[in-house]
Structure 1
Amino acid sequence: MLMKLLITLYPILIFTVIAIFFNFFRIRKHLPLNVPDVVTFFLIFGLHYFSRQVTHVSILPYYLLLISAMALILLLLDLFYYREFRAKKFLYFFWRATFFITLLLYICMVFIIFTS
């Protein structure tokens, strides 16, 4: 039961700690980083660690396959729609989409853990 509580509170704690860290050290004034840019790494780690703890199988290979497919689709859409490729714009959009997919996958994992 304690592990389920920790799995549920992990994203909230990470968001809070990193937001406080960003405000305390005023990172946004010095670097073009936002909180979701850093939280994504911790959510990926949480997906791997907690899926290994609960099911003894890591979800990380499937996650990397999903992110790779998303990158390929975004690249092809960028090339066919705009007829050009801008790496900075692509990486920015890709990283933000990665954050949302990671958060959605984490929420799905929590839902599956509580329903089983």
Structure 2
Amino acid sequence: MLMKLLITLYPIIIFTLIAVFFNFFKIRKHLPFNVPDVATFFLIFGLHYFSRQVTHVSILPYFLLLVSTLALILLLLDLFYYREFSAKKFLHFFWRVTFFMTLLLYICMVFVIFTN
């Protein structure tokens, strides 16, 4: 039960700690990072660690396959639809979409854990 509580509260704790860290050290003035940019790494780590703890199988390879497919689709969209490619814009958009996808996958994992 304690593990399920930790899994559920992990994203909230991570977002709070990163936001406090950013405000305390005034990182936004010096670097172009936001809280979701840094929290993505911790959410990916949480996906791997908690999926290993609960199911003894890591979800990380499937997540990396999903992210690679997403990158390919976004790249082809840029090239064929917009007819231009800017690496900076692509990486920024890709990382933000990866954050939302990671958060959604984490919420789905929590839902599956609590329904079983």
1:56-93 CA-to-partner distances (Å, cap 9, x unmatched) read 00000000000000000000000011111100000000
Give structure 1 regions of 4+ aligned residues with deviation exceeding 6 angstroms: none
> Superposition pairs for residues 1-116 of structure 1, below 5 Å?
1-116=1-116
Distance 2:67 2:93 in 1: 13
Unaligned segments of structure 2, at least 5 residues = none
Name the amino acid aligned to 1:36. Answer: P
The TM-score, its normalising length taken from structure 2, stands at 1.00
Q: Report the alpha carbon displacement of residue 18 of structure 1 after superposing the two structures with TM.
A: 0.3
Q: Report the alpha carbon displacement of residue 29 of structure 1 after superposing the two structures with TM.
A: 0.3
Unaligned segments of structure 1, at least 5 residues = none
Q: C-alpha root-mean-square deviation of aligned residues, in Å?
A: 0.3
Distance 2:84 2:96 in 1: 20
The percent identity for this pair of structures is 86
Name the amino acid aligned to 1:65. Answer: L
Distance 1:4 1:71 in 2: 32
Distance 1:51 1:13 in 2: 18
Distance 2:98 2:38 in 1: 12
Name the amino acid aligned to 2:81. Answer: Y
How many residue pairs get matched?
116
The TM-score, its normalising length taken from structure 1, stands at 1.00
